[in-house]
Structure formats: C-alpha cells, structure tokens
Structure 1
C-alpha cells in the first residue's frame, strides 16, 4: 500500500518539477543569490540529477556514488537540463516499479568510496527523506531564484500568490 502511494506521489511531483524547470529562462541561468550559492543553472541540474539517485536507492543495498557514472550537461543550457531530467525520470520510474513493499523495509546505505554519508536505514525512509524531500527542498530554492529574477513561478499546488492577486 505504501509503495502505491509513493508511486502516485512520484508521478504528481514529477509534473511539478517539470513545470518548474520549464519556467527557467536561459537568460537567468547564471544568476546566483550569493557567493556560496549555486547558479540557477547548477541548481536546475541538481534537481534533474536527484531523479537519477532513485536508481541507486531502489536497486542497490549500498549505493557508492564514487563508482557511479552520473550524467551531467551544460548548466548554461536549460534544454539540455530538461533532457537530462526526462532521461533520469524515466530511469527513476523503472527503478520505482521494480520495488516491493518488503524492499522498502530493507536497509540501504549511501557512501562515497569508504565514507558512509547516509544510512544504514530502511529504504522507505530514504525514499521520503532523501529523495522526495530533497527535491522539494531544492524546488523551494528555485522558486526563490525565479522570483528574485522577476520571473513567473508556475502553480504546482494550485494558484501562485501572484495568480491569486490577479482580478
């Protein structure tokens, strides 16, 4: 039952992520709010990349990022980032469909080489806390970036503040 809910949330939130990434204008990809922040293009690419992490989370008990071949593209090309996003979503969807309720309870660990960076913890907790919530966090940042550069934020959970002030 939980797996069914995760799949439904995944599909709904993929559409929200897609809307947000499609709202990013190429002219603002170099914007960054501070010296320690990512550029808008880097943040967009990170959001697209998180969807790839679903594969390692759902198909491996120990996911070693040091040995994985993460794809990346030009952070100054939003079309390339959108293409990466769509490719990673497809891979994530396949990995999610391979899960069972029992596998959600199996322990999972993320490491970089010999250094453990997350876990061990049940895969279902990782799905919510590391994958889903991680994307939501960075989408919130992207909304701030879009507003700071005077761009329209798409409604993802109903009308935006700006939409509600019209009329």
Structure 2
C-alpha cells in the first residue's frame, strides 16, 4: 500500500488537489442545497470534508490545527480556504511527526477498531472520495458546473468537442 511517508503525502496532496477543485466550484447560495430530508446540505457535507482531517487524522495521533466546529461557514470561499489549510496542516504534521517506520504501526480509532497506519490513510482518502462524489451530485442539482475529478466532467468533455456520452 504505502512504503514511505513520501508516498503517503504525495497521495494525500493529489487527493486534496481534487477535493479543492470541487470545493472551489461551490457558490455561497449552493451551500444550502439539500440532499434529502434529514440529511446534510451541500455546505454541511463540504464542511464535513474539512473537519474530517482532525476527526480522522487527529484521532490517529497527529497534532495539527484543523477546524472541529460544527457551524458551516456562510462563504464558499471560506469553506474552501479552510479545507486547504487543514489539508496542508495534516500533510505537514505527517511529514514532521511520522516516519517510514510509523507505516508498520496500528492505531485504535475511536476506541472501537484497529487500523494499520497505511490502512487508516487509505480509509481517509476513500472517505474523502466518497463525500466528494456526493458533493458533485448535489452540485449538479444546484445548477453548478461540476469540475472533473478522475476524468473530465460532461462540461469539460463538451469544451473539448467530445460527445456527451463520453
């Protein structure tokens, strides 16, 4: 999975870049876009991606500054900037607090499950990708242009002159 802290941080930085693209495509008005009754709004879901840094990586023992408050900023730009700061702080903490030997260790998460350190990094990335996918669906419903993540979005395909079925 991961053999070095460099591989971990490169993967985290790549995924953070993709998530940042999605967050920067949000508008202030879109933050209130509902998903379904009793579920998170687009803004609450996006903010969950910001606070997950501390909730997951902080629980794994890393010490860094990341928002934990439940109140979603009213500004999409502030939300995106908070994500950027949390991502950068997490990567910096990994580089300074963990070594390649840390990748041989395990962490008990939330007092209920044991993860290898590479496993919890992979879980964090999957968690981020899962919610990023939810965000793009809600963004489409809110009428926003959805950026491509692992490939071009429909709008990006169209801009390249490709058919809508790509």
TM-score calculated relative to the size of structure 1: 0.81
1: CA distance, partners of 2:140 / 2:9 = 30
Aligned to 2:32: 30
- Deviation track 1:118-149 (CA, whole Å, cap 9, x = no partner) reads x22211111102x1110000000001001112
SS at match of 2:150: coil
Report the Cα distance in structure 1 between the residues aligned to 2:71 and 2:81, rounded to whole angstroms.
9
Once the two structures are TM-superposed, the CA of residue 73 in structure 1 deviates from its matched residue by: 4.5
1:149-160 superposed matches below 5 A:
149-160=142-153
Match of 2:76 in 1: 78
Runs of 4+ in 1 over 6 A off after TM superposition: none
Deviations 1:84-116 (A, max 9, x none): 2122112201222132222122120122xxxx2
Partner of 2:60, secondary structure, is helix
TM-score of the pair, normalised by structure 2: 0.81
Unaligned runs of 5+ in 1: 61-67
* Greater strand proportion: 1
User: How many correspondences in the alignment?
Assistant: 154
TM-fit CA distance, 1:79:
2.5
Query: 1:83 Cα deviation (Å)?
Result: 2.9
Using the alignment, how far apart are the partners of 2:40 and 2:15 within structure 1? 23
Cα RMSD of the aligned pairs, angstroms, is 2.2
Structure 1 residues 69 and 18, CA gap change in structure 2 (3 angstroms): closer
Which residue matches 1:122? 116
